[in-house]
Amino acid sequence: MVQRGPSQPEEVIDSSCEQDKFKRLPLSETLTKKPETFHAETIIVGGGVIGCAIAFELASRGQEVLLVEQSEIASGASCAAAGMLAADSEDFAHPLMAQAAYDSRELLHKHKEQISALTGMDLGLRRNGFITPFRSYGDLSKYKDKRNTTSGVQQLWWDRSTVQREALWLNRDTYGAYYRSLESEVLPVSLTRAYARSAEMMGARILEGVQDVQLIVDKHGVQGIKTAKGEMCCKHIIIAAGLHGEQLMHQVGVVLPSSPVKGEMLAVRFTTDQAGGRPDRTVYAEDVYIVPKANGEVWIGATSLPGRKDHSVSANSMQRLLGAASYWVPGIKEADFVRAWAGIRPSTPDGLPYIGKCEGISGLYAAYGHFRNGILLSAITGRWIADMVEGKSAEEIGIEAFSPERLNRKGVMS
Ligand SMILES: Cc1cc2nc3c(=O)[nH]c(=O)nc-3n(C[C@H](O)[C@H](O)[C@H](O)COP(=O)(O)OP(=O)(O)OC[C@H]3O[C@@H](n4cnc5c(N)ncnc54)[C@H](O)[C@@H]3O)c2cc1C
């Protein structure tokens, strides 16, 4: 059956880790209070991984924060992701992206400890390392020629015999592979919910099912939001609404475009007899990625379809992904099919996320457009937005390259 996103399997979460017991505010009770009850220094619009990471960071600094989500926590792109934290394997053209990715991956490991101590929740975060395999010397040369990021990547070269020794489950004809031992992966829905839950435990308020959000600004800047549930006032509004961020910004005349890039994925499960054929590290190949997850499944992805916003999954895409995946990991042919899903990545015209203050409207911030690396960049985005809410400038943090108005300044948008 095709689903909107990978359900987070119950068995990965042990009964003590409270995933099921993620307590949302009792909406009926909370929303009967007078609108003026809803005051917070900072309101975050959007409960994906980015909004929840920001709520976590602000709450951990003792800031007063309210997050509003139109649907449920982790119901957008964050529930469709593969959860790879591919800081060394992604080929970032911009040096700030490369640095941010590296820092964020390490910060996520620190957050894991903090979240676990606070809530007992298991994020399925593991540092199992990624393998980028090649069929031939020619493929390796082409890969090296194309790559932007050549320095600072933590990797080892494995020749054929090392591959055969270290990854028994990988195609025996593999010419060689890069092995990146620091690479990690996480269960994205668990991460998002854990950020939200931890934020709540540190005093943040999380409201789901809040629709029709209208930003209220005047000549002094941000005043609050109007919603179908009432008005809520604040000093800072952070738009972390993924693909819908653009529409919200439009309400107040700010133009920060983003466009959809659909991705399809599927999950398989190895049977007990095939235990030796199951990958124990992520395969990050040119044509497919294969990610063994903490829940026992192996996730295979992903297609990239610019301009598509629908959640259908095509047989053709599944055939292509399974073909590529079973070339690298032949055991996949015998594995059980579990499910397939599609999600929509929020991309921007220059491929960089919008993270920072919106010039001209005091108190308004953007945190969206993380395209194919929002899970990876969640932790650092939370840290930077919290720094700015506390008064630091983008220059001081060194992230002017992600400034929301950069495209206007460069004349990309007229
Ligand atoms: C197939 C696929 C694979 C991917 N794999 C990876 C990966 O391996 N690693 C990685 O780092 N990234 C990956 N990504 C990218 C990652 O999923 C996204 O970058 C990330 O989830 C974006 O998070 P977000 O919080 O900005 O957006 P979302 O998760 O979309 O969250 C936005 C939230 O805002 C809410 N919202 C929208 N409008 C409003 C409104 N008006 N009022 C209130 N709430 C609103 C939505 O309901 C939604 O819950 C993948 C994406 C896809 C599709």
- Kindly report, residue by residue over 94-143, the tens digit of the pLDDT: 999 999 999 999 999 999 999 999 999 999 999 999 999 999 999 999 99
When pLDDT is averaged across residues 178-193 and rounded to a whole number, the result is 97
pLDDT for 408:
75
How far, in Å, CA of 56 to CA of 62, rounded?
A: 10
**Confidence class of residue 1 from pLDDT cuts 50, 70 and 90?**
very low
Cβ atoms within 10 Å of 301's Cβ, excluding its own:
24
How far, in Å, CA of 143 to CA of 336, rounded?
A: 32
Atom of ligand 1 minimally distant from the CA of 367: 26
Cβ contact 141:134 at 8 Å = no
Fold entry, domain 35-126+184-256+350-414 = FAD/NAD(P)-binding domain (3.50.50)
Burial class for 266, CB neighbours closer than 10 Å (0-12, 13-18, 19+): buried
Q: Please say if the pLDDT value at position 31 is more than 50.
A: no
pLDDT for 410:
60
Per CATH, 35-126+184-256+350-414 and 130-181+260-347 having the same topology is answered no
How far, in Å, CA of 148 to CA of 10, rounded?
A: 40
Residues in the chain: 414
Which one of 214, 238, 345, 365 would you pick to mutate in the ligand 1 pocket, going by the greatest count of ligand atoms within 8 A of its CB? 345
Atom of ligand 1 minimally distant from the CA of 75: 49
Q: For residue 127, what are the contacts with CB-CB under 8 A and spacing of at least 6?
A: 109, 181, 182, 183, 184
pLDDT in tens, 186-203: 999 999 999 999 999 999
* CA nearest to 397, candidates 411, 382, 408, 409: 382
The β-bridge partners of 115 are none
Q: Looking at ligand 1, which residue's alpha carbon is closest to its atom 27?
A: 242
Give Cα 30 distance to the centre of its chain.
Answer: 29
User: What rounded mean pLDDT belongs to the chain?
Assistant: 90
How far, in Å, CA of 103 to CA of 85, rounded?
A: 11
pLDDT in tens, 302-316: 999 999 999 999 999
Q: How far does the centroid of ligand 1 lie from the alpha carbon of residue 64, in Å? A: 24
391 φ/ψ angles, rounded to the nearest 5 degrees: 110, -5
Q: Looking at ligand 1, which residue's alpha carbon is closest to its atom 12?
A: 373
**Confidence class of residue 4 from pLDDT cuts 50, 70 and 90?**
very low
Q: How far does the centroid of ligand 1 lie from the alpha carbon of residue 295, in Å? A: 21
Q: Please say if the pLDDT value at position 35 is more than 70.
A: no
Residue 377's alpha-carbon distances to 7, 345, 347, in angstroms, are: 22, 14, 14
Strands (E), 270-319: 282-284, 289-292, 297-301, 305-306
Sign of the four-CA dihedral 7, 11, 14, 18: positive
Cβ atoms within 10 Å of 203's Cβ, excluding its own:
13
pLDDT for 95:
93
pLDDT for 275:
67
Q: Looking at ligand 1, which residue's alpha carbon is closest to its atom 10?
A: 373
Q: How do the domains of the chain map onto residue ranges?
A: 35-126+184-256+350-414, 130-181+260-347
Pocket of ligand 1 (CB under 6 A): 45-51, 68-71, 75-78, 80-84, 213, 240-244, 248, 263, 265, 301-302, 343-346, 368, 370-376
pLDDT for 37:
58
Q: Please say if the pLDDT value at position 17 is more than 50.
A: no
Residue 41's alpha-carbon distances to 44, 110, 136, 230, 357, in angstroms, are: 10, 26, 57, 17, 16
Helix (H, G, I), strand (E, B) or coil at 57: helix
pLDDT in tens, 354-396: 999 998 899 999 999 999 999 999 999 999 999 999 999 999 9
Q: Please say if the pLDDT value at position 3 is more than 50.
A: no
Tell me the CB-side half-sphere exposure of residue 137, using CA atoms within 13 A: 0
How far, in Å, CA of 339 to CA of 341, rounded?
A: 7
Give Cα 400 distance to the centre of its chain.
Answer: 21
Residue 166's alpha-carbon distances to 32, 131, 262, in angstroms, are: 59, 10, 34
The CATH code of domain 130-181+260-347 reads 3.30.9.10
pLDDT for 20:
34
Rg value, the chain, Cα: 21
How far, in Å, CA of 380 to CA of 101, rounded?
A: 8
Helix (H, G, I), strand (E, B) or coil at 180: strand
